[in-house]
Structure 1
Amino acid sequence: MWLRENVVVHRVQSLIEREKSGNMKLLPGNIKVLFFARGEPHVEIITVKEPKRRLSLSSEDSELEEPEYRKEVEDDLIVLDDHSQLLDDDYHLKMLAAHMPARTQGCPWQLVYSTAVHGSSLKTLYRNMVGLDSPVLLVIKDMHNKVFGAFSSDPFRVSTSCYGTGETFLFSFNPKFQAYRWSGENSYFVSGDLESLQIGGGGGGFGLWLDADLYHGSSFSCPTFRNASLSTLEDFIVQDLEVWTVHN
């Protein structure tokens, strides 16, 4: 590191000398001269890709934070502790892994709810998440065999107001993978009661909506994620549904 900074200092000194001769060139965007001491520049090296701040689990001030994602993931899959009937190939897992927040990296995922195992009940889904304090992945297959869903920064629960953070996003494999991240327009991430579960909103329709029986659903474009409809039709019938959570 000392050698690199020393080289940069000499480079800056050279550029300063050019200024004296009238041939000054702009410094590279990742180099900043903070001050001069005895004619020597103090240089700060700023990486081109500055690290983004990591969101907490709290939804407070989430609109002021920017989630940190793992991009350009190579040969990195989500590790499932149980068999999934919906995420059945490496393509699904690799595409999702590339859009997960960095804080989930290396964490195994366990199945917390499945219609095939637990039946179709939103109440049961809520009950299985009592005591959880970790992100969840909701995966749906409709009657047209289209797979889509949502990543939520918080486990699903009955609430009187919206909760979650800007880490929350919608996704669809319909037909190619597409992730719809937070637009910043509002913070209507997740809300729910005993009658329905809603993800995204603000425009007259929810990005993803499920009824109490987890049988009827709908997906509309919404300002929260600026998403297209996740399913083939805006109103759909659920064939199977799974919810996964990461081990703390």
Structure 2
Amino acid sequence: MIMLSCLPECDEEDESNRNQPESVTEEKPKEKESFFLSWYKHHLRNFYQAFKFPKGSSHVKPDDDDGLERNPMQSKEEATIIVQQAIIIPEISDPSLLLTEQCRRSLYTSLPALVQGRKWVLLYSTWRHGISLSTLYRKSLLWPGLSLLVVGDRKGSVFGGLVEAPLLPTDNKYQGTNSTFVFSDKSGQPTIYRPTGANRFYTLCSKDFLALGGGGRFALYLDSELLHGSSACSETYGNSCLANSQDFDVKEVELWGFVYGSKYDEILALSRTTESICRWS
């Protein structure tokens, strides 16, 4: 009897609970992606498609899951430039007379990871330190490791290579490692030539000349006065002629070092000490 008398109360309580409105937690609307993130994803997708599908391919399927607008598929070169422009490159100590911003971005992405992120210091230049191969060798002692040698000829070509510093004159003995490369910039987009593995003739330093590559012909040759040079196919890098012609007249030479932030001010001050300066028109 006691149990039966409790049943109505339980039923009333259950009925009361059923009539009680359930609490609803409203979901906050998902925040929209920032404009920059959407832009980056959009161009990254174009970059992927440009490499995965050849131009004119009918196999590219639109993907509208993220609601982004689609542009016509870009070429590999355009996609590469877009990705490079999104990369933040390190500080440069002085304006270069040879490297454009786009050229420097392209070369930066080709550098070994070991030196990426370091600041660029102009260790040597003909316009500041004078026309002298011995001075170039001496300035390369300021910062050991990978350095970028850049040469400009009087026909407007820019070329050079990644070398191992310090550059020390030796008797027909090559130096350097397979981290080096040579490059040519004739059209605003540098072409990189890396070691083929055919030999180890990376850099040859002499009191009379500086040469990169070997095996038949030098990829790049500069005389002791840094006035004349030549370029030809080399077995070391498998390159074509880096300049517009095999023989050329030098206009400017620059050597860039990649320096830690903690040493930047010290090396910068040392690099700006001048010796005999000679300029030409």
TM-score between both structures, scaled by the size of structure 1: 0.67
Q: What residue is the counterpart of 2:215 in the other structure?
A: 202
For residues 221 and 177 of structure 1, the distance between their equivalents in structure 2, rounded to whole angstroms, comes to 17
- Matched position secondary structure for 1:239: strand
Q: Rate the CA distance shift 1:85–1:170 in 2: closer, same or farther, 3 A.
A: same
From 124, 135, 139, the counterpart of 1:113: 124
Letter of the 2:122 counterpart: L
Q: Do the aligned partners of 2:129 and 2:135 also contact (CA within 8 Å) in 1?
A: yes
Give, in angstroms, the shift of residue 167 of structure 1.
0.7
1:166-205 paired onto structure 2 within 5 Å: 166-175=178-187, 176-203=189-216, 205=217
Q: Do the aligned partners of 1:76 and 1:97 also contact (CA within 8 Å) in 2?
A: no
User: Quick check: 1:155 aligned with 2:166?
Assistant: yes
Q: Do the aligned partners of 1:77 and 1:90 also contact (CA within 8 Å) in 2?
A: no
Q: What residue is the counterpart of 2:248 in the other structure?
A: 236
For residues 166 and 149 of structure 2, the distance between their equivalents in structure 1, rounded to whole angstroms, comes to 10
- Matched position secondary structure for 2:145: coil
Give, in angstroms, the shift of residue 74 of structure 1.
4.0
Q: Do the aligned partners of 2:221 and 2:230 also contact (CA within 8 Å) in 1?
A: yes
Q: Do the aligned partners of 1:163 and 1:190 also contact (CA within 8 Å) in 2?
A: yes
Q: Do the aligned partners of 1:136 and 1:154 also contact (CA within 8 Å) in 2?
A: yes
What's the C-alpha RMSD, in Å, of the aligned pairs?
Answer: 1.7
Q: Rate the CA distance shift 1:128–1:230 in 2: closer, same or farther, 3 A.
A: same
- Matched position secondary structure for 1:103: coil
For residues 205 and 230 of structure 2, the distance between their equivalents in structure 1, rounded to whole angstroms, comes to 15
Letter of the 2:143 counterpart: L
Q: Do the aligned partners of 1:73 and 1:98 also contact (CA within 8 Å) in 2?
A: no
For residues 225 and 74 of structure 1, the distance between their equivalents in structure 2, rounded to whole angstroms, comes to 29
Give, in angstroms, the shift of residue 77 of structure 1.
2.4
For residues 165 and 174 of structure 2, the distance between their equivalents in structure 1, rounded to whole angstroms, comes to 11
- Give the total of aligned pairs: 176
For residues 87 and 249 of structure 2, the distance between their equivalents in structure 1, rounded to whole angstroms, comes to 34
Give, in angstroms, the shift of residue 129 of structure 1.
1.9
Task: Report percent identity of matched pairs.
Answer: 35
The gaps in structure 1 that reach 5 residues or longer are 1-70
Give, in angstroms, the shift of residue 118 of structure 1.
1.1
Letter of the 2:205 counterpart: G
TM-score between both structures, scaled by the size of structure 2: 0.60
Q: Rate the CA distance shift 1:232–1:118 in 2: closer, same or farther, 3 A.
A: same
For residues 137 and 214 of structure 2, the distance between their equivalents in structure 1, rounded to whole angstroms, comes to 21
For residues 143 and 92 of structure 2, the distance between their equivalents in structure 1, rounded to whole angstroms, comes to 17
Give, in angstroms, the shift of residue 73 of structure 1.
8.4
The gaps in structure 2 that reach 5 residues or longer are 1-82, 261-281
Give, in angstroms, the shift of residue 153 of structure 1.
3.1
1:1-248 paired onto structure 2 within 5 Å: 74-87=86-99, 89-160=100-171, 161-175=173-187, 176-203=189-216, 205-248=217-260
Give, in angstroms, the shift of residue 113 of structure 1.
0.6
For residues 211 and 115 of structure 1, the distance between their equivalents in structure 2, rounded to whole angstroms, comes to 14
For residues 90 and 163 of structure 2, the distance between their equivalents in structure 1, rounded to whole angstroms, comes to 16
Indicate the structure with greater strand content: 1
For residues 245 and 90 of structure 2, the distance between their equivalents in structure 1, rounded to whole angstroms, comes to 28
Q: What residue is the counterpart of 1:43 in the other structure?
A: none
Indicate the structure with greater helix content: 2
Give, in angstroms, the shift of residue 85 of structure 1.
1.2
Give, in angstroms, the shift of residue 131 of structure 1.
5.0
For residues 187 and 74 of structure 1, the distance between their equivalents in structure 2, rounded to whole angstroms, comes to 35
